[in-house]
Structure formats: structure tokens, C-alpha cells
Amino acid sequence: MVNNYHLHPGINMLLSKCAMNEINDNATHYLPGTCFCAVCGCVLRVFWSDMPGEAMCIVCGTPYQIVVYTLMGIKLKTPPLINVKNEWLVIMKQYWIETHEFMGMGVIYDVKQHPRCQAGRQKLYNWAREKLKVLPGEMV
């Protein structure tokens, strides 16, 4: 499920410098420090997806695992870890460079509650099919 892939060591270093503050249940969270989205490059502000501990960048919709739970249910602080495979991360970055459109690639169970995510994801898939003529395998 979580692959924790990063584009290159520079981004990995940026993500590891993020302040790891306690996350509350508000709709939008600001992760202070030198934490930037690996896809859009904006200061990482997030909203929760429907997967425990996963949140998406409010600018581009890149999913990050920001809270990790142990098998015993203990919540651990962690720097944001990108929740997509390298193949998709490269595609998302190129899509962002060309379109600057929200992708909403986090886990969503009820698309009616997250229409922006569903629409963004469909636009990304259509763009990737057109550019690549085939889509890579599973995203996560």
C-alpha cells in the first residue's frame, strides 16, 4: 500500500526536514517548516483522504501518509511520505507542469463527497492515456 517513494534525494531531504506536529481532525492542516509538495512545489498544506493517516496536498491532490499506526493502534508521527509509485509520481509531476490542475489521487471511498477528486483523477487518467497510450499499473 504505502511505498514511500520520493523523486530524488533532494526532495527526500526536504520532506525529512518537515516539522512533525501533532495532527488534529480539522479539515485542512498546515505542516510548518520546509515541507513542500513533491509534485506542485507548494508549501505542503493538506486535507484528509478516506484512508487513515493519509492526506492530500490542497493544491494538486498528491497523497501523503502523514500519520502511521502500529499493529497495536499506536499513532506515530512521521514526515510526509508520498503515497504513490514512482511511475505515477513522474506522470503526476509532468501533468502538473503542463496543466496545473488538481488531481485528487488520495484514497476516496465516497466520490459524491469528493467530486473535485474524482474529476481531477479522471482528467489525469485521460491525459495520461493520450500522452502514454497506456496507463501504468496500480497507483499505490
Q: Residue 15 has what pLDDT?
A: 38
Closest CA to 55 of 32, 83, 13, 76: 83
Alpha helices, DSSP H only, in 36-136? 86-99, 115-132
Share of the chain above pLDDT 70, in %: 73
Buried b / exposed e over 21-36, threshold 16 CB at 10 Å, is: eebeeeeebebebebb
Q: Residue 136 has what pLDDT?
A: 72
Q: Residue 138 has what pLDDT?
A: 62
Domain that holds residue 39: 9-132
In a domain, 89, yes or no: yes
* More confident: 105 or 16: 105
Give Dmax over CA atoms of the chain in angstroms: 45
Going by C-beta distance under 8 Å and a sequence separation of 6 or more, which residues neighbour residue 1? Answer: 83, 140
The number of folded domains in the chain is 1
**Average pLDDT of the segment spanning 58-64:** 95
In a domain, 115, yes or no: yes
> pLDDT-based confidence at 53, cuts 50/70/90?
confident
Decide if 97 contacts 138 (C-beta within 8 A).
Answer: no
**Average pLDDT of the segment spanning 57-75:** 87
Q: Residue 109 has what pLDDT?
A: 86
> pLDDT-based confidence at 140, cuts 50/70/90?
low
